[in-house]
Amino acid sequence: MLGWENRTGDMNALIRQGAASGLSFLGFLEKEIKVFLESPHRKTMIEAEEYYAGKQAILGKQRTAIGKGGKKEVIGNLPNNQLVDNMYAMLVDQKTNYLFGKPMSIVTEDEKYGSELLNLLGSKRFMRMLKRLGMDSFNGGIGWLHPYVDEKGELKFRRFSPSEILPFWVDSDHTELELAVRIYDVQGYEGQQPRTITKVELYHGEGISYYVLQSGKLIPDVEKSDESYLVQDAQGEKPKTLTWNKLPLIAFKYNPLEIPLIQRVKSLQDALNRITSNFTDNMEEDIRNTILVLVNYDGTDLGEFRHNLKTYGAVKVRTVDGIQGDVKSLQIEVNAENYKAIIDIIKKAIVSNGRGFDAKEDRFGNNPNELNLKSMYSEIDLDANMMETEYQASLEELLWFVNAYLQFGKKLTELDEKVAFIFNRDIMISESGVITDIRNSEGILSHETLVGQHPYVDDVQAELKRIAKEREANLKDFNSYEGVFPKGSVKNEDE
């Protein structure tokens, strides 16, 4: 059987193939769910979330030595540091805040339509969700957003974890969904005993069907009934159920191949943790943990000898048959510079392979000009450009549901579909240089464009309204002086 990530093409054909082999539709889903839950791709998604939280492979590190029979044995009396230098989490936070740290601008010519879009997609609540979607995309290679209409008739958005969604795509480019299955665990009780219940939600053309997964079998969920996506009140009559013309589940991809960020840097992150932990182990090993050579000092069990040495820090030396006894130690010098050089190399490799930027970059010295800053941001810009292309397509798909909702609720009948979503990247800039360039562009570019490029402006439309209000107030003040000066003594600059 193919992996779940390769399940593309005509879903009806797949179902017909299953039926021909005596497999029902639910049986088909059960097998696909089993493959998905055990797939390496899903395990990578879960691993990425754990690495972000600091639960990394180094936490299983043990100090071992060759024991009897050549087998490794765990040594418990040696330093065993398990240090996590979480560069991966730094990369995820850095890239998320770079692209989603500032509010997204929504530009449209229709003022009323723009106001509705700002209420739905420009709110702080949605911006926070978009930022979480970005983190999902980095960790899982893909994020999922579910638009729905709540009981009050308001359009809302729900985010699903990447490791919960099993998609069935129509095409090999993964641009259109045929079906989607959400699998997630909830805590419940069986009698007095707590247990984990696996819930399954099937998203299809007519609505959502609810199941419970027990011993690999799907059974209807008695706690939830199947439902449609939309319900229209018929004013006292039986409510009318409607459906979207599209599956209300939108994929937000990190890149076209849906490759998680962890796959680029995991081996480097593990190497960094190992080197740092081993260095700390070596620095903590003192004379009582070094290798000791005993000369003419028989008759004492080595374990007892080490115990006494560890307890008292000294041993008695005696003469045996006229030969002088002696204790020698093998000292191993720890070259900290070697470790430092390797750690620096690995950290730079993590930043480069993860396509981030080094905020502590010192190669520019005291000359952080515009060209140097652009050079520092070049790699993260390449990644952000690719991700923004994917997100623009996803936002366009989301806009379809927003427009359908506005028409469904009769809030707007005519919609201007020319909408631009502008990601305002959180990039370090030379503000004085940008302001100078804006001044030099007056008369060449529109006033709205110049205001939108100003580093101190977050909301362009609000700033334009404030400017217009100030100009109107200044004009009133100017008109109040009419008659004070002799006629013709004050001329308009435009005259």
Per residue in 94-113, pLDDT (tens digit) is: 999 999 988 888 888 888 88
Query: Is residue 47 included in any domain, yes or no?
Result: no
List pLDDT tens digits, range 297-329. Answer: 555 566 666 555 554 545 565 655 656 666 666
Note whether 81 and 230 are same-domain residues.
no
Note whether 420 and 457 are same-domain residues.
no
Paired tokens of 338: 């070697």
Specify the range with the lowest mean pLDDT, choosing from 10-14, 116-120, 170-174, 462-466.
10-14
Q: How far is CA 331 from CA 59, 65, 290, 419, in A?
A: 28, 18, 7, 70
Residue 22 — pLDDT band, cuts 50, 70, 90?
low
| pLDDT mean over 357-378 | 67
Query: Is residue 493 included in any domain, yes or no?
Result: no
Query: Is residue 348 included in any domain, yes or no?
Result: yes
Note whether 218 and 275 are same-domain residues.
no
Note whether 315 and 451 are same-domain residues.
no
Hey, is 411 helix, strand or coil? coil
* pLDDT of 8: 45
Note whether 172 and 268 are same-domain residues.
no
CA distance 55 to 45: 13
Note whether 26 and 154 are same-domain residues.
yes
Q: Which of 428, 460, 489 is at the close of a domain? A: 428
2 or 313: which leads in pLDDT: 313
* Residue 316 CB partners (closer than 8 Å, separation 6+): none
State yes or no: pLDDT of 14 exceeds 60: no
List pLDDT tens digits, range 149-180. Answer: 888 888 999 999 999 999 999 988 999 999 99
Query: Is residue 134 included in any domain, yes or no?
Result: no
Q: Is 61 left (phi over 0), alpha (psi -120 to 50) or beta?
A: beta
Q: Is 313 left (phi over 0), alpha (psi -120 to 50) or beta?
A: left
Note whether 239 and 344 are same-domain residues.
no
State yes or no: pLDDT of 183 exceeds 80: yes
For residue 51, which phi and psi values (nearest 5 degrees)? -65, -40
* pLDDT of 379: 87
Note whether 380 and 440 are same-domain residues.
no
The answer to whether 373 and 357 are in contact (CB under 8 A) is no
CA distance 441 to 43: 52
Note whether 271 and 313 are same-domain residues.
no
Element (H, E) at 250: strand 250-253
CA distance 61 to 384: 35
Strand order in the sheet with 177-190: 165-169, 177-190, 193-203, 208-214, 217-220
Query: Is residue 494 included in any domain, yes or no?
Result: no
HSE at residue 168, side-chain half, CA atoms within 13 A, is: 21
The answer to whether 76 and 84 are in contact (CB under 8 A) is no
Query: Is residue 360 included in any domain, yes or no?
Result: yes
Beta bridge partners of 421: 106
The answer to whether 207 and 229 are in contact (CB under 8 A) is yes
Query: Is residue 484 included in any domain, yes or no?
Result: no
* pLDDT of 3: 36
For residue 457, which phi and psi values (nearest 5 degrees)? -105, 125
The count of domains in the chain is 4
* pLDDT of 480: 63
* pLDDT of 235: 54
Q: How many helices (H) and strands (E) does the chain have?
A: 14, 16
Note whether 358 and 324 are same-domain residues.
no
Range of the domain at 456: 434-479
0.75 cut: is pTM over it?
yes
Query: Is residue 219 included in any domain, yes or no?
Result: yes
